[in-house]
Amino acid sequence: MSALWTIAALWRGRAFWLLAGMVIAVAGLLSAAALMTVSGALIAAGGALVAGRLALHVLGPARVVLRYFERLVSHDAMFRALADMRVWFFRGLATRSAGGLGFRRAGDVLSRLVNDVEALDGVYLRVLLPVVGAVVLLPVLVWQLWVSPVLAVLVGVLFGVAAFVLPWRAARETLALGGRLSGAAAGLRVAAHDALAGLREVRAFGAEGRMLALLQAREAALLAAQHELAGRSARAGAVAFLFAQAALLAILVGIGLNPALAAMAFLAVAAFEAIGGLPRAGVAAGHAAAAAARVLEAAIGAPALPDPVAPAAAPRGNSLRFDGVHFAWQTDRPEVFSGLTLDVPAGSRIALLGPSGAGKSTLAALALKVVAPQSGRIVLGGVDIATLDAATVRGRIGWLSQATHLFDDTIRANLLLGRPEADDAALWAALEAAQIADVVAALPDGLDSWISEGGGGFSGGQGRRLALARTLLSTAPVLILDEPCAGLDAETERAFFATLNTGAAGRTVILIAHRLTGAERLDRIWRLSDGKATAAAG
């Protein structure tokens, strides 16, 4: 349950309104209890209490108004707290996985961001508020029943067990089930995401039946977990109901001995009704605790490469050097680089060639400080990047990959990802450098024209030029181009490199590729093989 306390601490920015909702909820609960007590007293007195009738005129509307404002304030505060949590989750995920989502599957991350975060909204609304109400109601109930101490203790014990013990046990017993439920929901979302993302391949290979069978199996696992959770919730609610009936029966027996207790029957009904959902909320709390653990596991922790405590000053030069670098992605795997030494002078243009698995993209990850070498140094402008913070390194090294993503947004918003403060003149200059400005200018809304996800509406070459414009818009003096023309036809590829030759003038360029087309302007070519770089041409 410690994960829930950690999550609750994240809501401190909304503490005022969360506490306000709690105060209003308690006030509404007390007004409801008072309303029932006065009603019981009036019935016992045959309606002869003038003060009681006046109290009803006040307590009735007060209960309705307080209930309305409690819902308004508490739900608004909770929705805002959940929005804050999603931002916090995304920021933590980005900090820990600068190169993307790492080894996490996109569907699982989405499940944590949506399903697991949504499971936490009940912690405040369905658990915390009723528990606070129960804490307030218990002494009120015992005090009102104290005309019969034995009855007061008996009803107090029944109330305490129903309000605190049963929910606690339900939460403890549901922890493992909550983890299974969250895992099943994530599994279904992963399967659905994979099926939709790979729909072309699924249809091309006639695998619709297999994918459907997988989805149905994941759905069945989720339904089984939900059915078990609902069963436990129903059983917990039934036990709480029996405790409430036992307390009411005890009061009715007590009325035979002391008629003054008649009004207390109504108070008991109101009190037990207020906490009737707590045992079921305990079951939900077990699920929420498992969801909280999944959220924290993904978002909390030190970054893969923490920044140095006292970062060095930003380098002034644009050279990049790999000096005796040894690196392996995992300790039980062979080294990708075994003593890699590579010198990229400032302003030069080099190409790195090699087959798949030679370490071309790994070299980019090392240069961008997504990962760190086990030994050796990477020097940027004469400064070891191990002494620099990640933001400084990535501010001086731009990256264009074969899988550069264009977002479902305007052209302007996609470009500003590279330099948020850029004005329209800078945006058009970047588009001109990438030789895509004429296409954008011809669109009805120009820079505010909408791009579909992945660059829909543009050809492959045009989408790659938009991505290049975003990279050129950044002020990074070093550019790493990781297979920037993958998937393009030969003519489009040659045209792209012709554009790059002029658009990246004055910058240090590292081109990572399987092969060369002859359209690139290069100062040197290196070949990666057996963990080392060998000069292939001058």
Q: Does the CA dihedral 500-504-505-509 come out positive or negative?
A: negative
Average pLDDT of the segment spanning 217-235: 87
Place of tokens 């994530």: 186
Identify the helix (H) or strand (E) that includes residue 227: helix 208-257
Could you write out the DSSP letters of every residue in 367-409? Answer: HTTSS--SEEEEEETTEEGGGS-HHHHHHHEEEEETT----SE
Among 73, 61, 83, CA closest to 23 = 73
Q: Closest by alpha carbon to 162, among 143, 154, 290? A: 154
Rounded distance, CA 130 to CA 143, Å? 20
Contacts of 526 (CB under 8 A, 6+ apart): 342, 350, 351, 352, 353, 533, 534, 535, 536
More reliable by pLDDT, 53 or 373 = 373
Helix ranges, 97-145 (H): 106-111, 117-119, 121-122, 129-144
Highest mean pLDDT (candidates 28-42, 176-190, 416-430): 416-430
Nearest to 112 by CA among 366, 328, 293, 251: 293
Mean pLDDT (whole number) for 444-451: 88
Does the structure show a pLDDT above 80 at 23? Answer: yes
313-326 tens-digit pLDDT: 888 888 889 998 89
Mean pLDDT of the chain: 81
As given in the structure block, the two tokens for residue 497 are 């490199």
Q: What b/e sequence results for 82-100 when a residue is b if at least 16 CB atoms lie within 10 Å of its CB, and e otherwise?
A: beebeebbeebbeebbbee
- Range with the poorest average pLDDT among 41-50, 113-122, 410-419: 41-50
Would you say residue 103 has pLDDT above 60? no
pTM score: 0.65
**535 in helix, strand or coil?**
strand
For residue 11, the 8-state DSSP code is G
DSSP state of 474: S
d(CA 516, CA 484): 12
Q: How confident is the model at residue 490 (pLDDT cuts 50, 70, 90)?
A: confident
For the residues 290-299, what does the mean pLDDT come to? Answer: 77
Q: Tell me, what's the pLDDT at 118?
A: 76
Confidence of residue 45 (pLDDT cuts 50, 70, 90): low
Distance CA 422, CA 112 (A): 34
If phi > 0 it is left, if psi is from -120 to 50 it is alpha, else beta; for residue 202 that is alpha
pLDDT at 499: 75
**Could you tell me if 38 and 59 are in contact, meaning their C-beta atoms sit under 8 angstroms apart?**
yes
User: What secondary structure does DSSP assign to 450-498, as a single string?
Assistant: EEBTTTBTS-HHHHHHHHHHHHHHS--SEEEEESTTTT--HHHHHHHHH
37-46, 291-300, 338-347: least confidently modelled range: 37-46
**How high is the pLDDT of residue 24?**
92
Label residue 105 by pLDDT band (50, 70, 90).
low
Q: Domains plus CATH for the chain? A: 2-299 (1.20.1560.10), 320-537 (3.40.50.300)
Q: How many residues in total does the chain contain?
A: 538
- Higher-pLDDT residue of 212, 92: 212
Q: Are 383 and 375 in contact (CB under 8 A)?
A: no
pLDDT digits (tens, 9 = 90+) for 370-382: 888 888 999 998 8
Rounded distance, CA 108 to CA 122, Å?
22
Whether the pLDDT of residue 222 is over 60: the answer is: yes
pLDDT band at 52; cut points 50, 70, 90: low
Q: What percent of the chain has pLDDT over 70?
A: 91
- Spell out the residues 6+ positions from residue 453 whose beta carbon is closer than 8 angstroms to its own: 406, 407, 408
Per residue in 179-216, pLDDT (tens digit) is: 788 778 878 887 887 787 778 777 877 888 888 898 89
**Enclosing H/E stretch for 428:** helix 424-433
| pLDDT at position 493 | 72
Q: Is the per-residue pLDDT at 220 higher than 90?
A: yes
C-alpha 338/C-alpha 342 separation (Å) is: 12
CB-based burial label for 128 (10 Å; 0-12, 13-18, 19+): buried
Cα 451 to chain centroid, rounded: 25
If we measure between CA atoms, which residue out of 422, 130, 3 comes closest to residue 431? Answer: 422
Instruction: Give the pLDDT score at 488.
Output: 64
Q: What is the DSSP-derived secondary structure letter of residue 334?
A: -
**pLDDT, tens digit, 9 for 90 and up, residues 125-145:** 888 888 898 899 899 888 888
Give dist(CA 146, CA 261) in Å, integer.
10
Q: What is the Cα–Cα distance from 99 to 419, expressed in whole angstroms?
A: 18
- Tell me the C-alpha distance between 477 and 456, whole Å: 30
